[in-house]
A = this chain, B = another copy of it.
């Protein structure tokens, strides 16, 4: 794994928060880091150069969606994801497991593999640990994920234990199946909000010595407090010297809480999905641009943020775009929201370096007034 190195620069003196540099074959990611989601090899509505301009270093793409459309073979034939989507920085792909359990129609699952029907046209697909790795090798991201089973957070403990054990077995098979040495394969800790289950999962995965560990099965319907308390006991189970990735999380407040508990990497559709609906994350809290009160508001959305939608247009204009269903509305607010997230992460990294991350949390949570 000489292509990868996780360089730990500073750990906060009072919390688990840490600043690092994650070296990949396509460049360095300053951690803690947020990855915008480019499900189908496109962060919806945005050009790669726009993502970079607001500070994005790494993006995520979804294996499940790309395997169905256009198909991993076509992406491979076109030179892999980096060339396909014209993103020359680091990319992470998930294993497809989460979408198989949440989006597709599950037909059969056993220890060997999952069989499901495509949510697009109902055609039948199989996914095994070996196949998940194979597809991700065809896609060619820098960071790839083991196939895991992600059960609902409230399943009985017995079922959760089965999922944990299957995830461990599949992780070992993924590791054995890996052929490319220029991709970092992450293990995924499962176990819901139960400490014993998380321990069982971590104990199964740690001997496999993955270059990084993801925490799955959170932000799937449990309360935020339960997510935070789960992180309280889960991150200390993971190696200090390897990056920790909290999958699919989350709101800005979730990011701060998770970073304080020692998480390094995040991805979430919220900035783009909410942005497409006219909901902006701002330094003063949530703003819904469809609201009538913005109809004659000449003020910019958030001058503290450095993107066109944040500072170059009145809220009246932004509202007009959403009321008129103009594409530029979703574009500008998606970009603003990503700019907001990337600025938040930059500021958090600086706060950690200054050993001030708890003060940072207090100030920002108060400013946002529980609006996200």
Contacts and interface: CB of A to CB of B under 8 A. Distances in A.
Interface of A: 40-42, 44-47, 49, 69-70, 74, 77-79, 83-86, 295-296, 298, 308, 312-314, 316-317, 319-321, 323-324, 326-328, 330-332
A312 B86 contact: yes
A326 B78 contact: no
The 8 A-B pairs of least Cβ separation, nearest first, read A45-B327, A70-B320, A42-B328, A42-B326, A40-B324, A86-B312, A78-B316, A78-B314
A323 B47 contact: no
A208 B330 CA distance: 45
Contacts of A308: 47, 49, 86
Contacts of A331: 45, 47, 327, 331
Contacts of A327: 42, 44-45, 327, 330-331
B70 A316 contact: yes
Best-buried of A42, A44, A330 by chain B (most CB within 10 Å): A42
A321 B86 CA distance: 13
Given A84-B317, A86-B313, A320-B41, A46 B328 contact: yes
Number of copies: 2
B312 A70 contact: no
Nearest to A334: B327
A327 B324 CA distance: 17
Contacts of A78: 296, 298, 314, 316-317
Contacts of A84: 314, 316-317, 320
B42 A323 contact: no
Contacts of A40: 320-321, 324, 326
B86 A323 contact: no
A79 to B, nearest CB: 7
A328 B44 contact: yes
Given A74-B316, A313-B86, A69 B296 contact: no
Contacts of A83: 314
A324 B66 CA distance: 10
B326 A296 contact: no
Contacts of A330: 327
A44 B321 CA distance: 10
Contacts of A41: 317, 320
B295 A328 contact: no
Nearest to A331: B45
A86 B332 CA distance: 13
B44 A323 contact: no
Contact of A69 (B74, B298, B317, B324): B324
Nearest to A47: B308
21 contacts: A40-B321, A40-B324, A42-B327, A42-B328, A44-B327, A44-B328, A45-B331, A47-B332, A69-B320, A69-B323, A69-B324, A70-B323, A74-B296, A74-B316, A78-B314, A78-B317, A79-B298, A84-B314, A85-B317, A86-B317, A327-B331
Given A40-B326, A320-B40, A331-B331, A295 B47 contact: no
Nearest to A327: B45
A228 to B, nearest CB: 34
A251 to B, nearest CB: 24
Contacts of A316: 70, 74, 77-78, 84
Given A69-B320, A313-B86, A327-B331, A295 B74 contact: yes
